Amino acid sequence: MSSSQIQAIRQTAQRVLGVDVRVSVFGSRVNDNSKGGDIDLFFETEKQVNNRAKAICQLSGALTLALGDRKIDIILKDANTPDAPIFDIAKRTGVQI
């Protein structure tokens, strides 16, 4: 991923979820040798997100405008989200941006 793409993702995350949000990319985009087409993103915040579905839609729409029409998979974990295996996988294999 280019530095401008990373910057756009960070700015979008902070605008939607606040300045303390952590963002990681995981999946095929972590490995430079892979030719993955989609972008898998893990957003994590210690705050409570009142409407997670709305926040995910806001992230998706803003990222599509910023990065172009490409497949973007978004996972969001806030203070009230119960643990799930996908969060562990994203943390273990992802790279924070």
d(CA 60, CA 13): 10
Closest-CA residue to 73 (of 93, 56, 50): 56
pLDDT of res. 13: 97
Radius of gyration (Cα) for the chain, nearest Å?
A: 13
Averaged pLDDT, groups of 10, the chain, 97 residues long: 91 96 85 68 95 96 92 94 93 92
Backbone angles phi, psi at 50, to 5 degrees: -60, -40
Is the entire prediction scored with pTM above 0.75?
A: yes
pLDDT of res. 36: 60
Residue 5: partners with Cβ closer than 8 Å, 6 or more residues away? 67
